Amino acid sequence: MWGMIHIRVFKLKSLIYYIFLVLLLALILIFGYQLVTKVYMKDSGNSQNLIDQTNNGNEVYLRVFKKIGDPRNILAYQIPFLTGISDNESVETSASRGDQGERVMDVPEIFLKHEPDMSEEIKIEISKIKDDLGSITLTGEGPQILIYHTHSREAYRPDPDNPYKAVEAFRCDDLDYTVVKVGSVLARHLESKGISVLHDRTEHEQGEHATAYVRSLKTIQKHMKEHKSLKIFIDLHRNAYKEGVKSPDDEVVYINGDRVAKLFVVIGTGQGYVGGFSERPNWKENYKFAMRLTNKVNELYPGLAKPVYVKPSRYNQHVSTKAILIEVGSNLTTLKEAERAAYYLAEAISQIVD
C-alpha cells in the first residue's frame, strides 16, 4: 500500500514538473515572438515598402536578428527608455526610410511633423525651429546639386499608356521607368534654370535592398571628393502605401488641369531607434532647408508639398547641412504624375537659391 502511494506521489510530482516545463517553454516562445514582432513592426514602420518586405526575407532576417543580438534591445522591450542609449554602431538600412503612409497605423500625415514615437525632446526642438537659414548661394565652377537614388528601382503605379515590366511589386530594373527617370526630369529642369546639376543614376539596391544606404553613401563620398563645388544633396525616392489606405486621388493635386503627384521632404536626426550613429546629421540645419523648400513649393503650388517629416534615422544626411530626402509621388501615382511634380519642384528650388 505504501509502495502504491509512493508511486502515485512520484507520478504526481513528475506530472507537475513536466507541466511546469511546458508552461515555461510556452512563455519563452510567447516572449520571443512578441520581441521579434515588436522589432520587426517598428522597423516596418520606417520601411521602404511593406509590400517589398514580404518579398524580401533576407531584409527581415538582417534587421530583426541584428537588433536582437544586442542584449539592450531585449531589455528595452520591457524598459523602453533604454532605447535612448547609443552604442554608435547603427547601420543605415533601407528599412528605415521615412515613408509616412507605410506605417501599420494609418494616420493623417498632413498634420504630422515627426514620427509618432519620436522623443519628446526632438518634438520640442522641431517646434522651435525657424527659417533663419539665410541666403542659399550656388556659385563657382562645377555641379552645385547632386541628385541620386538610394532606392533606384522604385517604380510607380502601372500606367496602361506607358507599361513597365515589374520584377517585384512596384519595382523595375529598367531605370527609365523608376524614380531615376523622375530625377532626370528634375535635373533637366534645374539645368534649364542655369543651375549646374550632377545626376547619379547608380543602381544602389543591387539585389541587397537592406544595405542600399551603405552603397549610396559611397557614391556621395566619391562625388564630394571629385566635385568640391557640391552644396545640395537630394536623395530622390518614391513613397508607398499599403493597399486600401488611400486612393490615387488623395495623392495628387491639379495644376493647370494636370494631375501632379504630391511630394514631401524627410529629415533624419540620426538618433536611431535602438542605438545611434557615430556621425549624426546637423538635422536642424537640414530641417531649415527642407522647411524653406516646402514653404516655397506650397507658395507656388498650394497643396503640392506635404509637411516636412522627421525620423530618427540618418539617410546619409550627415554629409551636409543641405542634405535632404524627397519622396516624389507614391505607388498610387503614375510616373507621368511624378515627372510633373519634378518640373514644379525644380521651379521651387530655383527660387530659393541665388
Going by pLDDT thresholds of 50, 70 and 90, the confidence category of residue 353 is very high
Mean pLDDT for the stretch of residues 192-221: 94
94-106 residue pLDDT tens: 544 544 444 322 2
Q: How confident is the model at residue 20 (pLDDT cuts 50, 70, 90)?
A: confident
Tell me: pLDDT of 216 over 50: yes
What is the spatial distance between Cα 5 and Cα 1, in angstroms, rounded to a whole number?
6
Among candidate residues 287, 263, 237, 311, the one with its CA nearest the CA of residue 43: 311
Cα(222)–Cα(93) distance, rounded to whole angstroms? 20
- Give the per-residue pLDDT at 25: 86
Q: Which residue has the higher pLDDT, 325 or 21?
A: 325
pLDDT of amino acid 129 = 94
Question: For 326-347, how does the pLDDT look when each residue is reduced to its tens digit (9 = 90+)?
Answer: 999 999 999 999 999 999 999 9
Which of 27-31, 84-88, 177-181 is the least confident region? 84-88
Contact 313, 96 (CB under 8 A): yes
| Residue that wins the pLDDT comparison between 282 and 242 | 282
C-alpha span between 87 and 89 (Å, rounded): 5
The answer on pLDDT for 192 being more than 80 is yes
* CATH placement of domain 94-352: 3.40.630.40
Share of the chain above pLDDT 90, in %: 56
Does 313 have pLDDT greater than 60?
yes
> SS3 letters for the chain?
CHHHHHHHHHHHHHHHHHHHHHHHHHHHHHHHHHHHHHHHHHHHCCCCCHHHHHCCHHHHHHHHHHHHCCHHHHHHHHCHHHHHCCCCCCCCCHHHCCCHHHCCCCCCHHHCCECCCCCHHHHHHHHHCCCCCCCCCCCCCCCCEEEECCCCCEECCCCCCCCCCEEECCEECCHHHEHHHHHHHHHHHHHHCCCCEEECCCCCCCCCHHHHHHHHHHHHHHHHHHCCCCCEEEEEEEECCCCCCCCHHHHEEEECCEEEECEEEEEECCCCCCCCCCCCCCHHHHHHHHHHHHHHHHHHCCCCECCCEEECCCCCHHHCCCEEEEEEEECCCCHHHHHHHHHHHHHHHHHHCC
- Per residue in 145-180, pLDDT (tens digit) is 999 999 999 999 999 999 999 999 999 999 999 999
> Which is more confident, 123 or 70?
123
Q: Mean pLDDT, the chain, as a whole number?
A: 80
The pair phi, psi for residue 256, each rounded to 5°, is 55, 35
Whether pLDDT at 188 is above 90: yes
The confidence score (pLDDT) of residue 45 equals 37
Residue pLDDT, tens place only, 45-86 = 333 333 333 333 444 344 444 444 544 444 433 333 333 333
What pLDDT is attached to residue 7? Answer: 53
In the prediction, which pLDDT does 14 show? Answer: 74
Alpha-carbon gap, residue 279 to 270, rounded angstroms: 8
Domain boundaries, the chain: 94-352
pLDDT of 272 reads 80
Supply the pLDDT for residue 89: 43
